[in-house]
Chain A
Amino acid sequence: MTTSTPQTDREEKRKAWQKRALLLLFLGPALILSLSIIVYPIINTVIRSFTDPATGGFSLMHYEYLFTNRIAVADIWYTLWITVITVALSVFIAYLLALYLRFSGSRIAKFIGTMYLLPRFIPGLVAVYAMKVVISDSGLINRLTLLLPEASALYNLKPGLLFNPRGIILMNLWFNIPFATMIIVAALSGISDSIIESARDVGAGRARIFLQMIVPLSIRDVMIAMTFIFMSNISSFTTPYLIGENFPQMLGVFLRKQFSNRAYERAAAISVLIFLFSSVSAIVYIYTNLKEKEWEKG
């Protein structure tokens, strides 16, 4: 330790300034970018959603439209309904698949364990197209049923999955089951075999081990998976745009329509609504990342 002389004081101050200048140099460009393409647009959107385009003054007209207009209300309910079903079905199936992947040591399980990661690298548009070729009314399924005897009930089956909610939900399952499985498998891998064995040793049955051990230890990650699936499906665009119907439409397609009609204030209000619907997952995402980064630091 040096004694505090005017000279070392000045030296330290210079060092502190140097560090601050360096930080500014390092962080400045990225901060400017994030302020201009993330923060400012979000704030601007919130303000615009409360603006009367004619006068530029404050107005609730766009929210009034969203919650009273027949089409808008139908679209909002339709979106919520499809999203909730998607979340429930994909998490349910993913949980079963994850249980199988975690607790069956078979080679088949290991094989599926590598194969389920791949769909995440397939662009969404491509997946929708591939599914469409199979499930359209003159697609593969229909052609296969033409091979059956004519008397058969399934002969010339038209799946009827395009341009209705069933097709959208089916496609959503394709996208979300791998993601949910990945999160749940990670949670289940955290439960060690020895804990389960010791529970079995003291006489716990399969059902009890499942309900009192496996479920409580994985429920947190299941909830996280649910919030993220909710967020990505409440705002989905590509699937409903390509295989959805004309009315009702999902919010993403409705938003696109308003945006390309240059009804920017109304588009802003729909965006704010989507932001609100995804606020839970946004908070989870930001909170866990800030916390984990803090924890890693040590």
Chain B
Amino acid sequence: MSQTVVRPPQIRRALGKKRAGGLAILFAFMLFFYGPLLYMFILAFANSYNFPAIMPNEFGFMWWDYVFKQPNTLVSITNSFLFAVCSTALSFVICIPAAYALARFQFTGRKLVMFLFLLGNAFPKIGMYTSMGIIFYKVGLMGTFMGVLLIHMLGTMMQMIWLPAGAFRSVPRHLEEAARDAGAGPLRTFFKVTLPVAWPGIAVALLYAFIGSLGESVGTLFVGLPQWRTMMTEMYGVILDFPATAGAVFALLLIIPNFVLLLLMRKYIGAETMAKGFKMS
């Protein structure tokens, strides 16, 4: 279709109205969902941002210096990644075999097992964290590395069971059978055939688990503080106490890992499937 097609005036007017409506929706949408984020990014690079200036009076990295000189910043970044790596790795080791069993074996009590796993996602996390915290207090896990790790694993575990189970189920059985017929043992078949075919799904699960753990805030606040601080729990204090510009720097620090990971993983998944699988609440 070429642009030079002559249209009757009514149609042209109707199309114009439609486009204006679309532009209005786009404007409102971008303003509400992206405006605040964009403005915050700008503030992160302000040296001075005095009332009533709309744009920073002076740009620079002064508040990055300030944030990184705070004694808790580096500790909390290290802790965030420590918990994310440990909880993702541990739930990988624990949950991948379970995911495989759920995908490939029929057995009595299968529904019950699935029910027990689903329960962790079915109720609000804050109630689950309180429930775990009450027990942690009794057994002395409050404020310990192990306690916080278990909190993070509540989230990572769910990611490492359902997505990989789906991935294993979608591996065609005849591929595995062909490998077995060619004389490969069960372990070799799993590592050479099943795992590589299921890998994209598992990679997505790893990504979500990792991002989920980095983003965990409430549970760590309940169980970890003051001994174990992560970037997320620091952010509560930053929002309430820091100057606006320093808060913006810290907020930007919290987003960077998510976007780096998403970019790295783009080859496995489109944006849509990515967002759909991402856990709600």
Chain B interface size, as a band, is 35 or more
Is A259 part of the binding interface, using a Cβ–Cβ cutoff of 8 Å?
Answer: yes
Is B73 part of the binding interface, using a Cβ–Cβ cutoff of 8 Å?
Answer: no
* C-alpha spacing A40/B128, complex, angstroms: 11
Residue of A nearest to B51 (CB): A138
Is A238 part of the binding interface, using a Cβ–Cβ cutoff of 8 Å?
Answer: yes
Residues of B within 8 A of A74 (CB): none
Which of B34, B240, B251, B274 has the most chain A CB atoms closer than 10 A to its own CB? B251
Residues of B within 8 A of A278 (CB): 122-124, 127
Contact of B115 among A45, A115, A121, A286 (CB under 8 A): A286
* C-alpha spacing A97/B126, complex, angstroms: 30
* C-alpha spacing A39/B97, complex, angstroms: 20
CB <8 Å contact, B40 and A129: yes
CB <8 Å contact, A289 and B114: yes
With A125-B232, A278-B124 known as contacts, the answer to whether A42 contacts B153 (CB < 8 A) is: no
CB <8 Å contact, A274 and B124: yes
Taking chain A's interface residues, is the majority helix, strand, or loop, or is none over half, making it mixed?
helix
Contact of B19 among A106, A127, A256 (CB under 8 A): A106
CB <8 Å contact, B19 and A30: no
CB <8 Å contact, B119 and A134: no
With A123-B258, A286-B119 known as contacts, the answer to whether A33 contacts B235 (CB < 8 A) is: no
CB <8 Å contact, B131 and A238: no
Binary interface encoding of chain A residues 192-206 relative to chain B, with 1 for a CB under 8 A from any of its CBs, else 0? 000000000000000
Residues in B192-244 with C-beta less than 8 Å from chain A? 211, 215, 217-218, 221-222, 232, 235-236, 238-240, 244
With A41-B135, A42-B119 known as contacts, the answer to whether A108 contacts B23 (CB < 8 A) is: yes
Chain A interface size, as a band, is 35 or more
CB <8 Å contact, B272 and A117: yes
Is A87 part of the binding interface, using a Cβ–Cβ cutoff of 8 Å?
Answer: no
CB <8 Å contact, A144 and B114: no
Binds A, one of B2-10, B25-33, B57-65, B172-180: B25-33
Contact of B254 among A19, A126, A143, A232 (CB under 8 A): A126
Residues in A17-50 with C-beta less than 8 Å from chain B? 19, 23, 25-27, 29-31, 33-35, 37-42, 44-45, 48
CB <8 Å contact, A267 and B26: no
Contact of B131 among A41, A111, A115, A256 (CB under 8 A): A41
Is A131 part of the binding interface, using a Cβ–Cβ cutoff of 8 Å?
Answer: yes
Is B81 part of the binding interface, using a Cβ–Cβ cutoff of 8 Å?
Answer: no
Is A5 part of the binding interface, using a Cβ–Cβ cutoff of 8 Å?
Answer: no
CB <8 Å contact, A130 and B40: yes
* C-alpha spacing A120/B215, complex, angstroms: 12
Is B133 part of the binding interface, using a Cβ–Cβ cutoff of 8 Å?
Answer: yes
With A38-B154, A285-B122 known as contacts, the answer to whether A108 contacts B97 (CB < 8 A) is: no
With A133-B244, A242-B239, A278-B123 known as contacts, the answer to whether A259 contacts B169 (CB < 8 A) is: no
Contact of A121 among B102, B128, B137, B258 (CB under 8 A): B258
Residue of A nearest to B29 (CB): A112
Binary interface encoding of chain B residues 18-55 relative to chain A, with 1 for a CB under 8 A from any of its CBs, else 0? 11001101100110111111011001000000011110
Contact of A231 among B36, B115, B281 (CB under 8 A): B281
CB <8 Å contact, B123 and A282: yes
Closest 5 CB pairs of A and B: A235-B124, A30-B98, A41-B131, A117-B275, A232-B281
8 A–B contacts, CB within 8 A, in A order:
A31-B116, A106-B18, A125-B251, A133-B248, A259-B133, A268-B131, A274-B126, A278-B122
| Apart from A31-B113, A143-B51, A289-B162, 11 more pairs, CB < 8 Å | A23-B107, A38-B119, A39-B116, A119-B33, A122-B258, A123-B254, A126-B37, A126-B40, A134-B35, A255-B127, A274-B123
